[in-house]
């Protein structure tokens, strides 16, 4: 049956079938090619979209804005609303649903995107919560398809570091959905919660994916993709000392890259990244703990293995695909 995502929210990849994710990736590849060919989109003509950010962002906000403008829509950026303070989430959702055709939300609890979807009556897109970051995973899968000369089902992705954050959780689910080999190289106390691992394993049993966790670096052997994320996510800033102590053995260095045994391995990072002293936070950490890089060495970050900036660009193409598929009218693009 043809995939039809009209009117759907995008809250977690758990809600999407492998065929639906495939459809979004194919659409993203097509929209990227169209943009490179200079084609102007109209699929979101007349649509108004609100972008709610309760946490900071560069890529996600800019991707939603550019993607929307590229397809003829309009955006409002909202970072200081009444929601949850002077007005309930439910009432705010009902108001925004009257004014807007789609809502993006970035913040803390997954419950918030779920309730926005429940009460607004329009598609809601998860731009990152503490639990999941599903639009990022689409960009990651797209980048893998561009850079690894194997179908996704044959790709082994190893995620190093904080495996129970939004990226660890979402990559595990995304890889399971697409029949990939997912391995987390992380200390046991930072593995994803058991309930989510069971869900991922149940999906994997259907798709032929494998899910593995290890504290031993040998798990990177044979990897096609090495992935990492910050050791301290937004909202967890009190945890730097503990995380540096726990996660330093899991930094992606050239030794780890060599240990894959794969000269064609690629390095991915959702960004932002602490790989040098170019940030105020990085400099504070250096003053306090004497380290100049955290989750990835500067050498790997800047190496020929790194596809982090292709990945950042692909945020826009994949977010565009999500908005167009759930809200747009592609027949207007000719
Ligand atoms: N990767 C990502 O979500 O980046 P931003 O926090 O800049 O949006
Ligand atoms: N885990 C990170 C991802 C940033 C895109 C965070 O939540 O801060």
Per residue in 112-121, pLDDT (tens digit) is 999 999 999 9
Burial class (CB in 10 A: 0-12, 13-18, 19+), 205: exposed
**296 Cα–ligand 1 center, Å:** 17
- 315 catalytic? Reply is yes
- 216 catalytic? Reply is no
Tell me which residue has its CA closest to atom 3 in ligand 1. 60
Q: Which CATH architecture has domain 150-263+266-304?
A: 3-Layer(aba) Sandwich (3.40)
Residues flanking ligand 2, CB < 6 Å: 128, 165-167, 229-230, 233-234, 270
Residues of the chain scoring pLDDT < 50: none
Query: pLDDT by residue (tens digit) across 174-226?
Result: 999 999 999 999 999 999 999 999 999 999 999 999 999 999 999 999 999 99
> On the CB side of 261, how many CA atoms lie within 13 Å of its CA?
7
What's the pLDDT at 1? 74
**List of residues 6+ apart from 137 with CB closer than 8 A:** 13, 170, 171, 173, 174
What's the pLDDT at 197? 98
What is the reported pTM? 0.98
- Specify whether domain 13-132+315-333 bears CATH 3.40.190.10: no
Where along the chain do the CATH 3.40.50.1370 domains lie? 13-132+315-333, 150-263+266-304
């Amino acid at each position: 049956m043809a995939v039809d995502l009209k009117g759907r929210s995008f809250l977690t990849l758990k809600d999407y079938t492998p065929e639906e994710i495939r459809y979004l990736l194919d659409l993203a590849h097509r929209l990227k090619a169209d943009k490179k060919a200079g084609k102007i989109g109209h699929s979101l003509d007349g649509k108004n979209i609100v972008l709610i950010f309760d946490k900071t962002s560069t890529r996600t906000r800019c991707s939603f804005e550019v993607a929307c403008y590229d397809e003829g829509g309009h955006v409002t950026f909202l970072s200081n609303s009444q929601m949850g303070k002077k007005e309930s989430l439910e009432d705010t959702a009902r108001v925004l649903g009257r004014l807007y055709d789609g809502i993006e939300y970035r913040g803390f609890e997954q419950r918030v995107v779920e309730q926005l979807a429940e009460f607004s009556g329009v598609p809601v897109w998860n731009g990152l919560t503490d639990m999941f970051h599903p639009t990022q995973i689409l960009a990651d899968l797209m980048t893998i398809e561009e850079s690894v000369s194997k179908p996704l089902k044959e790709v082994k992705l190893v995620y190093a570091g904080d495996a129970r954050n939004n990226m660890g959780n979402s990559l595990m689910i995304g890889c399971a959905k697409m029949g990939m080999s997912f391995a987390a190289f992380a200390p046991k106390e930072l593995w994803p919660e058991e309930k989510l691992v069971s869900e991922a394993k149940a999906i994997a049993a259907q798709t032929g994916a494998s899910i593995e966790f290890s504290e031993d670096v040998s798990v990177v052997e044979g990897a096609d993709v090495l992935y990492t994320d910050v050791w301290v996510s937004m909202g967890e800033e009190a945890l730097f000392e503990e995380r540096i102590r726990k996660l330093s053995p899991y930094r992606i260095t050239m030794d780890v890259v060599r240990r894959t045994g794969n000269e064609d391995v690629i390095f991915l990072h959702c960004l932002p990244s602490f790989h040098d002293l170019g940030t105020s936070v990085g400099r504070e950490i250096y003053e306090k703990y004497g380290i100049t890089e955290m989750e990835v060495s500067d050498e790997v970050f800047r190496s020929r293995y790194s596809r982090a900036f292709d990945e950042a660009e692909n945020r826009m193409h994949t977010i565009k695909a999500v908005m167009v598929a759930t809200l747009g009218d592609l027949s207007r693009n000719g």
